[in-house]
């Protein structure tokens, strides 16, 4: 699969853009575990144009994580075009436009998935960005605004006509947010539309290697994108890549190896930010990791873990978890 001149190979597995998750260190970690392409956190076009420092920091990429896409969102064509030009200066391999974020503070203001209610503006933004930069431009969006407006089959053709190099589709409407199950049938319909020639990447509920392989086989997508299932478990890319390639799961990492990944995330997060902000950042990964799911009598320790305020305290709790709750669970 190619996005412009970016060759991702056969059946690539991509890391989804996620706010407060896909920072540089996490992207690199997912890359090490086999992710074929990674995406930055969401970059606000308006904030970037206004030179907001925290937004500018999101443009930082390193060669080891390539190929990497910078994802931008906004509701005004002029600022989106200017933001795309600013992003291009950071030399990403791809610029991705976010027309899929469902959260109220984004979609409620007309950006992200909010654009699904204003397709002419969505297309104007897409054309403007494509014409403003030389790197490939892609789009990530959803099936439609709600159950009664699943417009993705027609919309995909319109976006392709704007000149995008690939399209990622999340199999839910905006009104669904992240509830219910992702519906891949329309993703497959887009892919199997003979008028479509750009790569189609499917997204939504890719939580296991087996599900990823099933989506490749059943719906014919060119690539799959993993989002929430990677939080606290970047090794999922190792599992998916191995299973899609060989038809069997690779030997699992040991509990200690997975705990070392968690500890590395903590150290890198603190090094990038500071102790307080680094620990706050890593809590989302600690809360989501499947390592700690379903452990008996874990509730009090989980609360203690998520309330820890210093690195030594948190490392001590993680060691206690490994030596007690996870002992003998290789």
Question: Which residues are designated catalytic?
Answer: 101
Q: For residue 201, what are the contacts with CB-CB under 8 A and spacing of at least 6?
A: 14, 166, 167, 168, 169, 221, 222, 223, 224, 225
Q: Which phi and psi angles does 38 have, rounded to 5°? A: -125, 160
Q: Which phi and psi angles does 311 have, rounded to 5°? A: -65, -45
Both tokens of residue 205?
């509920």
Among 211, 328, 228, residue whose Cα is nearest residue 287: 228
* Angle, vertex CA 277, rays to CA 262 and CA 27, nearest 5: 45
Please give the Cα distance from 279 to 178 (Å, whole number): 26
The residue written with tokens 């219910």 in the block is: 180
Among 287, 266, 276, 257, residue whose Cα is nearest residue 25: 266
Please give the Cα distance from 230 to 16 (Å, whole number): 9
Q: Is 98 helix (H, G, I), strand (E, B) or coil?
A: strand
Please give the Cα distance from 240 to 248 (Å, whole number): 10
Among 78, 77, 84, 217, residue whose Cα is nearest residue 138: 84
Q: Is 95 helix (H, G, I), strand (E, B) or coil?
A: strand
Please give the Cα distance from 89 to 196 (Å, whole number): 30
């Amino acid at each position: 699969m190619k996005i412009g001149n970016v060759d991702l190979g056969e059946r690539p597995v991509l890391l989804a853009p996620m706010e407060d998750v896909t920072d540089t260190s996490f992207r690199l970690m997912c890359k090490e575990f086999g992710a074929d392409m990674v995406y930055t956190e969401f970059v606000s076009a308006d904030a970037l144009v206004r030179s907001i420092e925290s937004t500018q920091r999101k443009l930082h990429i390193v060669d080891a994580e390539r190929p990497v896409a910078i994802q931008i969102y906004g509701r005004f064509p002029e600022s989106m075009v200017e933001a795309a030009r600013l992003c291009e200066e950071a030399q990403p391999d791809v610029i991705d436009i976010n027309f899929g974020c469902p959260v109220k503070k984004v979609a409620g203001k007309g950006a992200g998935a909010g654009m699904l209610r204003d397709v002419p503006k969505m297309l104007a933004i897409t054309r403007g960005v494509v014409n403003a930069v030389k790197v490939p431009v892609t789009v990530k969006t959803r099936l439609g605004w709600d159950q009664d407006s699943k417009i993705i089959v027609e919309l995909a053709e319109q976006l392709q006509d704007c000149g995008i190099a690939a399209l990622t589709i999340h199999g839910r409407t905006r009104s669904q947010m992240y509830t219910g199950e992702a519906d891949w049938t329309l993703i497959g319909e887009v892919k199997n539309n003979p008028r479509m020639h750009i790569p189609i990447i499917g997204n939504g509920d890719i939580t296991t290697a087996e599900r990823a392989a099933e989506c490749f086989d059943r719906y014919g997508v060119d690539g799959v994108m993993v989002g929430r299932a990677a939080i606290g478990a970047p090794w999922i890319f190792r599992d998916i890549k191995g299973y899609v390639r060989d038809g069997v799961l690779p030997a699992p990492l040991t509990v200690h190896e997975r705990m070392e990944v968690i500890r590395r995330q903590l150290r890198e997060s603190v090094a990038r930010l500071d102790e307080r902000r680094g620990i706050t950042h890593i809590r989302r990964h600690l809360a989501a990791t499947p390592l700690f799911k379903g452990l008996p009598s874990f509730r009090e320790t989980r609360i203690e873990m998520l309330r820890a305020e210093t690195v030594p305290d948190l490392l001590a709790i993680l060691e206690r978890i490994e030596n007690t709750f996870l002992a003998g669970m290789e």
